[in-house]
Amino acid sequence: PIYQSQLIIKPDELIEAYTSLGEMQVKTIELINKSKKEISIFTNVFYWFEHVEEALKGAISRNIKVRVLMNVNDETSKLYAKKLREIGVKVKEIANETVLARGTLVDNEQVVFVIWVSPVKQEK
């Protein structure tokens, strides 16, 4: 691949695996706190909002542009969308779809994400 042959970048230098969602949330908060320009978050449900709320407020206070793409189909998600808007986050709603991933992209340079995998029934 071009990134490896010409740029001398190894795949294991591009991707870092996390052992738990907790570890991922710690890394997400670190990236949010280091942001300089913008933060883009995509998530099916933002039930982890409370874990990153203070970091997002700090980013907003530093004039960082914060955007969230999320599902707002239940009361908890509606509440989080309202809280996000109140602190200055631009929220876009996913139209009745399920996103099987969640992630945070910071300054178009670093991303932390998880992909939810469900077992698929094998046809006989």
At 65, list the tokens.
């542009």
Residue 42 or 19, more confident:
42
Q: In this predicted structure, what is the pLDDT of residue 114?
A: 77
What are the E-state strand segments in the chain? 38-43, 65-70, 90-93, 101-106, 110-115
Ramachandran category for residue 96: left, alpha or beta (phi over 0 → left; psi -120 to 50 → alpha): left
Domains of the chain in start order, with CATH, are 17-115 (3.30.870.10)
Q: In this predicted structure, what is the pLDDT of residue 33?
A: 97
pLDDT higher than 70, residue 22: yes
Sheet of 101-106: strand order equals: 90-93, 65-70, 38-43, 101-106, 110-115
Global pTM reads: 0.79
Residue 2 or 61, more confident:
61
pLDDT higher than 50, residue 45: yes
Q: In this predicted structure, what is the pLDDT of residue 7?
A: 61
Q: What are the counts of helices (DSSP H) followed by strands (DSSP E) for the chain?
A: 5, 5
